[in-house]
Amino acid sequence: MKLTRQGHAFTEIVLETFKFSGLLTTEGDRITQIYGLSSARWKIIGALERSDTALTVPQIARVMGQSRQAVQRLVDSMHKEGLLVFIDNPKHKRAKLISLAIDGKKVYTTLQQQQVPWANKHSSEIDEKELEITLATLKKLSEKFAL
């Protein structure tokens, strides 16, 4: 069987996604380093901040496309550090709801102040329409493998 034109583009996108993800992780580790954070922890904070309600660990995992165990480990560690708070979940005795603690919000705000100019800078030369198409396409593709 041969690759269709779309199949070829898709394959290239997959490889470029791996590369970009790796580069972004390194960049995120660099940015968050002085606050004692990391890319992985920043993503947890971001997922919580972007949600209008508090989330359980498995919910965060689904949003991030990762295993619940990986998220659980980070959440427990960040809770111990005082970045997160556990809220009793009326719908489940064990599955607590996770929310940002005061410290977590502070760190998020500080990082946000760096993230905004960073995002603006790296996207300024690229056509907005193309960015929108890229985002929509990535979302479509992600859906096909959603957990």
What SS3 state is found at 145? Answer: coil
Copy the structure tokens of residue 48. Answer: 């919580």
Q: Which of 31, 46, 68, 110 binds DNA (CB under 7 A)?
A: 68
Q: Which of 56, 104, 107, 111 binds DNA (CB under 7 A)?
A: 56
* Residue 47 binds DNA (CB under 7 A): no
Distances (CA, A) of 37 to 17, 26, 33, 68, 81: 23, 12, 6, 20, 11
CB atoms within 10 A of CB 129: 8
Which option in DNA, a second copy, none does residue 102 bind, with CB closer than 5 to 8 A by kind? none
Q: How far is the CB of 88 from DNA (least distance, A)?
A: 10
What SS3 state is found at 83? Answer: coil
- Write the burial class of residue 60 (CB in 10 Å: 0-12 exposed, 13-18 middle, 19+ buried): buried
Q: How far is CA 24 from the centre of its chain?
A: 11
* Residue 83 binds DNA (CB under 7 A): no
Q: How far is the CB of 68 from a second copy (least distance, A)?
A: 12
Give the range of 8-16, 93-101, 105-113, 115-123 binding DNA by CB under 7 A: 93-101
Instruction: Please give the DSSP secondary-structure letter assigned to residue 124.
Output: T
* Residue 94 binds DNA (CB under 7 A): yes
Instruction: Give residues in contact with DNA (CB under 7 A).
Output: 22, 25-26, 29-30, 38-41, 43, 56-59, 65-70, 72-74, 76-77, 91-96
